[in-house]
Structure formats: structure tokens, C-alpha cells
A and B are shown apart, each in its own frame.
Chain A
Amino acid sequence: MLELRNVSYTVTDNGKKEILKNINLTIDDRFVVITGPNGSGKSTLAKIIAGIITPTSGQILLDGVDITEMSITERAKAGISFAFQQPVRFKGITVKDLINLAAGRKLNFTEACNYLSEVGLCARDYINREVNASLSGGELKRIEIAMILARGTKLSLFDEPEAGIDLWSFNSLIRVFEAMHESIKGNILIISHQERILEIADKIVLLKDGEISQIGTKDEIMPQILGTSGVCPQIKE
């Protein structure tokens, strides 16, 4: 269980800007989906949870333990995983290296293959590929997800996992999340704009201008965000 208490983040480099304001949120469900317009602070919130950004004020608790002062590494070891919105490329580091680092041990081919095939990649073609500019955005996104599977931690954050996975179906992505929950029984937090992903949410959080504007079950929230307010129906996939 993750708790955010009064978390705020303000930057001051070019005049004061409040990026997140007083976020209070408990993540104790299978799937929590955070949605909201671009620039509303979703990625910033995920980075604060992973320890990449230090909040200006507020507290973060993981299973009741205050982790606000913990480093990225300590939080990773405490059980937080984070799939980036924009995955990172490395020269010379292979898919296998990253999956092994994520798993925390050397996996055999079958084990590594399982993680990759879950995200729709054939291990034989990818395991020894370098995670460099030769991989497409969609391939990188899937490798990013495979790393989270290999980590198998109690809290997993996915920042817009659907972006760029054109060749792979949403159904597969949703199956990955479901299988992940079945095997780990942890909490999964997904940042997404996708209706199909919102549909599996136990809880939807709508972020606007750095504030939680709505929070509730999908039945409560979905009609509002898909209906009149906000999203243009033409843009919906």
C-alpha cells in the first residue's frame, strides 16, 4: 500500500510554478489509473513516488513506512518499480543485461524468454540486441514493461505504457497487467489516457493542473471524462 500525504512540488527557476498541489492519495487496489490532460503533473507524480523527484513538501509511505527521504535505489529495493514514459537507450547494454539487472540475478534463456514473450517480443530476436537507437519506440516500451515483470515488486508504476505499442494489441497489454497482479498480488499504478485501460481500473484519479480533481471508481469517473467534459470524441482512438 502506498500513501501520499499532502505532497506538493513547486519549481522556482523561472518564477514560481506549482506543478503538484497537496496530493492526498492511497493506492491499495489492484489497478489504479491516473489520467488527465498533458501537463497536468502525472509523470511528475510518478517520479516523486519512485524517488527521482523530491517533493517540496509532504510525505510518502509504503506499507506504513515513511520513504520520503529514501533514495531511488532504496525505494527500488523496498519494492517500487517504474516503467518510464520515455524509456532510456544505452550503448552496449543488451536486453538480456537489463532483464537480468531487473530480476536481480542471471536468468536462464527460458526465464528471460517468458518475460519477453509476455510483452509480445520473440526472445531469440531480441535477447542479445543492444538497447540503443536501433530499437523503435514501441520495442523499447515493451522491453521497459518486461523489466517491470522481471522485477516483480509489490508496487509497479507504468507511465503511459500504451504509447507506441501499435503492433501489439491492447488486449495483450491488459492481460499482462492482469497476469502480473495474479502472480505478485501487488498494486499497479498506470498513467494512461486510454479508455480500454481506464476500464480495468478499480480506482481512477483525474489530475488537472497539478491537483486531484476527481477520484472514484470507473463507473463514477468514466462517464464524466469520456462524455461531455474534456476529451474530444474524435481523438478517442
Chain B
Amino acid sequence: MAMKLDKIQLNLLEQVADLHEVPAGAYNIRTNGTSAGRSTTANIDIVSKEDKDGIDIIIKPGTKKESIHIPVLLSESGIEEMVYNDFHIGDDADVVIVAGCGIHNGGDLASKHDGVHSFFIGKNAKVKYVEKHYGYGDGKGEKIMNPVTVIEMGENSYFEMETAQIRGVDSTNRKTIAKLADGATLIVGEKLLTHGTQQAITEFEIDLYGEKSSAHVVSRSVAQDDSYQEFISRVYGNNECNGHTECDAIVMNNAKVTAIPEIKANHTEASLIHEAAIGKIAGEQLIKLMTLGLTEKEAEEHIISGFLK
């Protein structure tokens, strides 16, 4: 399929999907509001929605070791879009899904990508989902992303979600909603760094319906300058289950971070834990690295990059 990406788009693609070129396997690349390229495989079909913007990704039962890339690239200033992507993952499938949104805004109008990703995960299926957000460009226009992820997990399914948003995005309001059936396991790792006057709100709502279901959410974030972050997590244990959320934030300069945990046991066999720690970089960590010959600034950079690694 002939697909041409310009330099800015290729850079965005590399940042959000670690791709240097058009990927192998199934993919759908969306640039500036339209589909720029698509490829399907024998087991993975991608179909455009007719009633709204977005696609259906249909993964056949038993599909093993395949990957799907669905990056979204916005390189023109002033584009605002709302996209619905639905993933239908068949029983026993084992796949890697890489999504991500890159915005280059060189103009003064706001660029905004709102997306709803819904996952319908079959029994025993295993999914690794990676999502990166990246923004750059020196225009005054804001770069805004509001992703919603809805995860419906079938019996004994496994979903591992890795999200990262390191600088670049001015405003983000992320919401992740999950419902787990018997034996399902959800693992979420979130990495976030805000600076300037950026704002990021991340909200988790996890319902553990199934017997022996479990959810483990770890959020690590750094808030610099005048930025603001809010971490909200609600975990409801409605059966014999395990829920664990952890929010670990480093706050610097004049930044502010709020962590609002809510855990609720609706069952005597539900075991739920929430941990939250917010604070500046420990002085002794800086001192240790300075005794190795690093300047305070270098020590700070090492501590942050390790923390978000």
C-alpha cells in the first residue's frame, strides 16, 4: 500500500510507537483526521466504523504472537477529533497492541485528540497494550489529549497496559474503566511527567466482579514547574479478589499533585490495598549521587529518569 508520511509525521510515529517506518503486521495509521494507511492479516481485520469516526479491530480466537499498531498523528495545527476504536479480541488470543498519539502543533490553534478505546477480551486471551502520548511544536496552540479506555475482561483473561506521557501534552484527562470476570488479571503501569503549566488528570475505575480476579495499578509521576496532576483511583471488590493501586509522585518547584484513592469491598473475601506517596526528591538521594561526582542538576535528572524508566 502506498503511504507517504512526512518528516514530522515520521518523528511522531517514532515517538509514540518506536517505529521508524510503516510497521509489519496489522496496522492503521491515522494522520490529521483521516486514515493514512491500513494493513490487515489473516487473523486480524480492521474495519472503519460507519456511524462515527473510528475502527473496529477484530482479532480471531487463537491468534498468537501478532501485533497491531494504531498510531494517531496530528501534525496540522487546529485539528480536533473524537475517535472510537473497538478491539474485539477472540478467546485464547495472545497479541500486542501499540496505540499512541503524537501531536505536533506549530500553530496557534489548539490540537485535540479525544479517543475512546474499548476492549472486549475473550476467555483466556492475553493482551499487552502500550500507549504513548507525545506532543511538541513551538506554536502557542495547546496540545490536548483525552483518552478513555474501557476494558471488559473475560474469564481468565490477562490485560497488561503500559502508558506513558512524558512532557509535551498541555492538558490531558485520562479515564480507564475496567470490569473483570472470574480469574481475570489486569496490570496497569502509568508513567507521567508534566512541566510548565500542564495539567494531567488520570482516573481509574476498576470493578472486580469475578472470583479470583485481580488488578494491580502502579502510577509513577513527576510534576515540575507550575504543573498540576490528579490521580484518582476507585477499586471495587465485588467478589473474592485482589486489588492493589499505588501512586508514587515526585513533586518539584511549584507543582501540585493530588491523589484520591477509593477502595471499596463489597465482599468479605475482597482484599484491597491502596498506597500513595507524594514528595520531593529525597535529599539523601541527591547527596549520594553528588558524592559520585554528579552536580545537583545531573543527580536530579538521573533520579527522575530512573524513576520513570
Contact = CB atoms under 8 A, between A and B. Distances in A.
A124 interface: no
A76 B282 contact: no
A164 B302 CA distance: 28
Nearest to B248: A91
Nearest to A87: B288
A77 B290 contact: no
Contacts of A91: 220, 248, 306-307
Contacts of A93: 302-303, 306
A151 B292 contact: yes
Contacts of B294: 73, 101
A11 interface: no
Contacts of A90: 285, 303, 306
Contacts of B296: 73
Interface residues of A, number: 25
Interface string B112-156: 000000000000000000000000000000000000000000000
Interface residues of B, number: 22
A61 B152 CA distance: 67
A82 B291 contact: yes
Interface in A155-203: none
Interface string B274-291: 000000001011011111
Contacts, number: 57
A94 B284 CA distance: 17
A94 B220 CA distance: 17
A84 B290 contact: no
Interface string A186-229: 00000000000000000000000000000000000000000000
Nearest to B304: A92
Given A88-B282, A93-B302, A76 B291 contact: yes
A29 interface: no
A81 B288 CA distance: 10
A102 interface: yes
> Which secondary structure dominates where chain A touches chain B?
mixed
B302 to A, nearest CB: 7
B302 A88 contact: no
Contacts of A84: 288
Given A52-B287, A84-B288, A88-B285, A73 B303 contact: no
**Centre residue among B288, B290, B292, B306 by max chain A CB count within 10 A:** B292
17 contacts: A50-B291, A52-B287, A76-B290, A76-B292, A77-B293, A80-B291, A87-B288, A88-B288, A91-B248, A91-B306, A92-B307, A92-B308, A93-B306, A101-B292, A101-B293, A101-B302, A151-B293
Q: Closest 3 CB pairs between A and B?
A: A92-B306, A93-B306, A72-B290
Interface of B: 220, 248, 282, 284-285, 287-296, 302-303, 305-309
Interface of A: 50, 52, 71-73, 76-77, 80-82, 84, 87-88, 90-94, 97-98, 101-102, 104, 147, 151
